[in-house]
Amino acid sequence: MDVIINGFLFGLLLCVLIGPVFFALIQNSIEKGFWSGFFMAIGIALSDSFYIVVTYLGISQFVENPKFNMWLGGVGGVIMLIFGVIYLFKPVPKKGLKQLHQEDTKWFQQIVKGFLLNGINPFVLLFWLGIISKVTLDFEYNNNQAITFFVVLIATVFLVDVLKSYFATKLSQIVTPRFMKIMNRVVGIALLLFSLRLFNFVLVAYGIELF
């Protein structure tokens, strides 16, 4: 149950990341309708799943090595720290979302669009590396628990993305510069706290414990 709850909470955290994909999904839904956003959300979920599989498989074979775990904790902590600082001080665009005419949905094109838009961003891979270091070192999940965690996480993100598509018109009015600024600060603080947990793992290996 703890694994499921953590997967759900991390999924919600990812849902409030105010980035290019967030705006692209809402704008695409406004311009071309719900189903266009729905298929784009599928592409985003497939892209995230691909990164998770590649990253986790690349790391899991080394988790029994204490030195590798220290390196992983340090790298994961730095990644979380950088993302936390970025979101704390991230500038907020002043322009809102515009509602345009709807067009016919080309489902395969929208899936590819979501996959590429999310996948070509190098920060996505780095972010998943940070999340996986958290799962491996802090939560200490075995393979079955990790799979459950990521399935729940991706399912949560996908369902919320579908809701974003459904309520796209209303979201375009709600996502004001002030709202975006608050969300960025919340996400930034959460990521900074996660980074401290990972740094603590490394320090504990040297006999130093922060908390």
Task: Name the band, by pLDDT with cuts 50, 70 and 90, for residue 18.
Answer: low
**Residue with the two structure tokens 């729905």:** 38
The pairs formed by 55-60 with CB atoms below 8 angstroms and a separation of 24 or more are 55/125, 55/128, 55/129, 55/132, 56/132, 56/146, 56/150, 59/132, 59/133, 59/136, 60/136, 60/143, 60/146
Count of structural domains, the chain? 1
For residue 71 the two structure tokens come to 């390196």
The answer to whether residue 47 is domain-embedded is yes
The answer to whether residue 113 is domain-embedded is yes
pLDDT, tens digit (0-9, with 9 covering 90-100), for 181-205: 887 888 788 888 888 888 887 787 6
Q: Which domain holds residue 166?
A: 2-96+104-205
The answer to whether residue 210 is domain-embedded is no
pLDDT, tens digit (0-9, with 9 covering 90-100), for 143-194: 899 999 999 999 999 999 999 999 887 877 777 778 878 878 887 888 888 8
Task: Name the band, by pLDDT with cuts 50, 70 and 90, for residue 101.
Answer: very low
The answer to whether residue 211 is domain-embedded is no
How far from chain centre, in Å, is Cα 68?
A: 24
The answer to whether residue 165 is domain-embedded is yes
pLDDT, tens digit (0-9, with 9 covering 90-100), for 34-56: 899 999 999 999 999 998 998 88
pTM: 0.75
